[in-house]
Structure 1
Amino acid sequence: MLGTLTGVALVLSGVGLGAVGATLAGTGALAELKRQAGTAPVSGPSASGPRGTPSAPARAPVVARLGVEVADGRRPGARVVAVHMPGPGSSAGLVPGDVLLAFDGRRVDSAADLARAVARARPGDEVTLTVRHRGGDRRRLTAVPGIVT
């Protein structure tokens, strides 16, 4: 009974978690998970830059977001089905039902076209959107794509 209580106390204090994790995930997988989470130091040849100087940790690329959800319609364009508030799309004046026809001068025929165009944009730079509203009138709106944190 004393052994069981000691084991429970060690696990609860965090001492036994490394052994349990290594057993469940395998030592290589556990090290990889820790490295991805940023809780383990990176070692080996890729851990340093030229002449042994430490290199900066790899960063995920910054991707622009418009803050809208779109779907394909029957006609060319990307139909706005939801607008995130607050967000770049709502600030620009987009509303559900709008159809995006062009993004910064590039024609948008589908939701995938819009996704590619937004991905090419730089966060913080103004872009022009050509939009067809529900009533059929076309308008040009200005948006500033942002980033998701």
Structure 2
Amino acid sequence: MRTTLFGLCVGAVLLLAGVGLGTVGVTLLGGAGHAAPRPGPPPRPAGTAGAAAAGAPVTLGVQVVDTERPGALIVAVHVPGPGFTAGLVRGDVVVAFGAGRVAGTADLARAVTGARPGTRITLTVRHRTGAQQRVTVVPGVVV
């Protein structure tokens, strides 16, 4: 009985630790909580009633990490989400947000925080092959 109870407790701790480790990374929500965008209608442009006007956090719906080279490496893309809709994939590196260069995750987080939901932004991304591409993304809000 003791062994079974001990095994269950250890299993629960390991499971919870794995869940905690699995959420490590930077979720690009403009510096706010760890919520994912809910599926639904596209975000309203800034200045309209609703979540955008209430100051809800802005998101690209991607998780990024820093690398040795300039840019923010995308390690996960939320489906559905603005990044998925724009065609971003895991392994892409965001090197520019609009006209501004992105040196790392902090630069990208600042740029996303300053973006207006519903506004089209051009991102420059570097693919795993080394080729660069410009994609248009429409930042959304976390509801």
Letter in 1 for 2:60: L
Give the strand-richer structure, 1 or 2: 2
d(CA) in 2 for partners of 1:61, 1:114: 19
1:132 maps to which residue? 126
1:84 to 68, 78, 89: 78
What pairs with 1:48-127 in structure 2 (closer than 5 Å)?
Answer: 61-127=55-121
**RMSD over equivalenced CA pairs, Å:** 1.2
d(CA) in 1 for partners of 2:120, 2:56: 16
Q: Deviations over 1:11-67 (max 9, x none)?
A: xxxxxxxxxxxxxxxxxxxxxxxxxxxxxxxxxxxxxxxxxxxxxxxx852332100
Taking only the aligned residue pairs, the percentage that are identical comes to 59
Where structure 1 has 5 or more consecutive residues not aligned to the other structure, the ranges are 1-58
Q: Following TM superposition, where does structure 1 have runs of at least 4 consecutive aligned residues deviating by more than 3 angstroms? A: none
d(CA) in 2 for partners of 1:97, 1:105: 22
Q: CA deviation at 1:87?
A: 0.3
Q: Relative contact order (alpha carbons < 8 A, sep ≥ 6): 1 or 2 greater?
A: 2
Letter in 2 for 1:112: A
| Bigger-Rg structure (1/2) | 1
1:37 maps to which residue? none
Letter in 1 for 2:73: R
Where structure 2 has 5 or more consecutive residues not aligned to the other structure, the ranges are 1-52
Q: CA deviation at 1:105?
A: 1.2
d(CA) in 2 for partners of 1:95, 1:103: 16
| TM-score (normalizing by structure 1) | 0.59
CA contact (8 A) 1:71 1:79 kept: yes
Q: Deviations over 1:40-99 (max 9, x none)?
A: xxxxxxxxxxxxxxxxxxx85233210000000110000000000000000101001000
